[in-house]
A and B are shown apart, each in its own frame.
Chain A
């Protein structure tokens, strides 16, 4: 048993080495396939991060009238926070709003003077509401409108809800996000499928060149496992080497484009690569080894049927 295993392993290594060109071609194609798969992973990360960033910049602002009672504001804030669609509610008190106004208009003497003239804080409190999905702003806004409609006209609490003003850009963004997610999913599936098929075919061709050998091995009484074993091992080696090649290829590439992605998408892909190296290593080498092993197993099986 152990001798058989040792012979299979040795035959696998010797076969890999003596069929150097075929091995090289298989590793090359598998590397390209894994590179495509890895690139898809990084693109997906880029897309997800930038969509999250954009989403976090979208919100609905509710401006309260300056003399709105605090307990009313709290009530509305709590009610909004309790909505399942709502992710975050940020409260800005009158004082904070004033402070913010001052700091924003620092150096603008006229604006600050106007504020002094008033003798009192003209700004109301606000809450900024972020929904979990951009598509949910509609229903959050509807809820806030209802709250406003129910108010006593003589003593209103809510001054303005700015959803209507943001509606068009929120709708456009919702559409873009949905389209990007659909398209990228479709593209990823196609790329994954294509690279799997190309790898499978390359390894099949590599083993096709050995079909005579397989026939001879059967004639001298080699068991199926004894014939299949070295080819399976070679498939694993193709995957392992291609996985390591791909990881090595991504290192300088991401080091180079990392700062660019950080500036544009607010995520440094090189940092992401280094932080998640174990996972990326596992995924790329894992996919490579699985592809190599499964492809070679299927390819040899064809010549073992009698």
Chain B
């Protein structure tokens, strides 16, 4: 589904978090955790998938599509296939939880009826029906992240990209978020997640890719957090 073919990324300013000859692939319905120290290149790798960053060498494919050759005008359509979740939630501050989730559908050109049907379902999946009309600043960290997850899944994307989704959360919220991500994966969506959190990785018990200084140093099918 996603193929990295000998991808390298070097920054002119000498930043360490580049990539060195990365080659791997992700199959449909997989749950892949990418672990490693800060600056190992985890986030750079995810940015390549959503075409937020460009490789210095090598190619990244989505199915047979070279991601970095997609014309700028077609990028929005491509990004709609991917749901993104971030450590800092990235919610629209002037929109309620409901509107944040609905926005992703509006941007997708979905009808009002679909929005009225799917947004409550997505919010129910993350157990936030009663906070639908709260603004982000009225929600806790865990609740914000659950809104972000609802937004990421509401368009039924092929892949969920989660960059340190539990990085800002307390242990209980972390547990909840991981359970939700597992549930999404069980329903058939591919999930690629980066994390620092040993507990999270060990609990998921799925494929783990370990990175260090821009390289993949381990790729375990039934992984544990080893660093």
With a cutoff of 8 Å between Cβ atoms, the chain A residues found around residue B78 in the complex are 221
The reply on B97 being an interface residue by CB < 8 A is no
B51, B52, B106: the one contacting A7 at CB < 8 Å is B106
- Are A306 and B94 touching (Cβ within 8 A)? no
- Are B76 and A223 touching (Cβ within 8 A)? yes
The reply on B14 being an interface residue by CB < 8 A is no
Once A216-B90, A219-B50, A306-B72 are accepted as A-B contacts, the answer to whether A3 and B80 lie under 8 Å apart by CB is no
B72, B73, B77, B94: the one contacting A221 at CB < 8 Å is B77
When each residue 216-243 of chain A gets 1 if its CB lies under 8 Å from chain B and 0 otherwise, what string results? 1111111110100000000000000000
* Sample of 4 further A-B pairs with CB below 8 A, known A220-B103, A221-B77: A216-B92, A220-B104, A221-B76, A221-B107
The reply on B45 being an interface residue by CB < 8 A is no
When each residue 113-137 of chain A gets 1 if its CB lies under 8 Å from chain B and 0 otherwise, what string results? 0000000000000000000000000
**What's the Cα separation between A243 and B3 when bound, in Å?**
55
With a cutoff of 8 Å between Cβ atoms, the chain B residues found around residue A156 in the complex are none
With a cutoff of 8 Å between Cβ atoms, the chain B residues found around residue A220 in the complex are 79-80, 84, 103-104, 107, 151
The reply on A19 being an interface residue by CB < 8 A is yes
**What's the Cα separation between A217 and B103 when bound, in Å?**
8
- Are A221 and B93 touching (Cβ within 8 A)? no
The reply on A271 being an interface residue by CB < 8 A is no
- Can you list 5 contacts pairing A with B, beta carbon distance less than 8 Å? A4-B109, A7-B106, A216-B91, A217-B103, A221-B77
The reply on B108 being an interface residue by CB < 8 A is yes
Interface range on chain B (Cβ under 8 Å from partner): 20 to 34
B50, B72, B76, B112: the one contacting A3 at CB < 8 Å is B112
- Are B107 and A226 touching (Cβ within 8 A)? yes
**What's the Cα separation between A183 and B79 when bound, in Å?**
56
Interface range on chain A (Cβ under 8 Å from partner): 20 to 34
The reply on B111 being an interface residue by CB < 8 A is yes
**What's the Cα separation between A218 and B76 when bound, in Å?**
7
- Closest CB-CB distance, B160 to chain A, in whole Å? 13
- Are A219 and B90 touching (Cβ within 8 A)? yes
The reply on A213 being an interface residue by CB < 8 A is yes
**What's the Cα separation between A218 and B79 when bound, in Å?**
8
- Closest CB-CB distance, B129 to chain A, in whole Å? 21
- Closest CB-CB distance, A221 to chain B, in whole Å? 4
- Are B92 and A213 touching (Cβ within 8 A)? yes
**What's the Cα separation between A259 and B223 when bound, in Å?**
88
**What's the Cα separation between A223 and B79 when bound, in Å?**
10
**What's the Cα separation between A218 and B157 when bound, in Å?**
16
Nearest-CB residue, chain B, relative to A17: B94
The reply on A104 being an interface residue by CB < 8 A is no
**What's the Cα separation between A306 and B71 when bound, in Å?**
11
- Are B112 and A213 touching (Cβ within 8 A)? no
**What's the Cα separation between A220 and B95 when bound, in Å?**
14
**What's the Cα separation between A77 and B88 when bound, in Å?**
89
The reply on A75 being an interface residue by CB < 8 A is no
- Are A306 and B84 touching (Cβ within 8 A)? no
**What's the Cα separation between A14 and B106 when bound, in Å?**
15
Once A3-B111, A217-B103, A217-B107 are accepted as A-B contacts, the answer to whether A222 and B76 lie under 8 Å apart by CB is yes
The reply on A212 being an interface residue by CB < 8 A is yes
Nearest-CB residue, chain B, relative to A10: B106
- Are A213 and B93 touching (Cβ within 8 A)? yes
**What's the Cα separation between A222 and B112 when bound, in Å?**
16
The reply on A18 being an interface residue by CB < 8 A is yes
With a cutoff of 8 Å between Cβ atoms, the chain A residues found around residue B84 in the complex are 219-220
Looking at B72, B76, B111, B151, the one whose CB has the most chain A CB atoms below 10 A away is B76
Looking at B51, B73, B93, the one whose CB has the most chain A CB atoms below 10 A away is B93
With a cutoff of 8 Å between Cβ atoms, the chain A residues found around residue B93 in the complex are 213
With a cutoff of 8 Å between Cβ atoms, the chain A residues found around residue B82 in the complex are 221
**What's the Cα separation between A223 and B71 when bound, in Å?**
13
- Are B90 and A221 touching (Cβ within 8 A)? no
**What's the Cα separation between A261 and B112 when bound, in Å?**
59
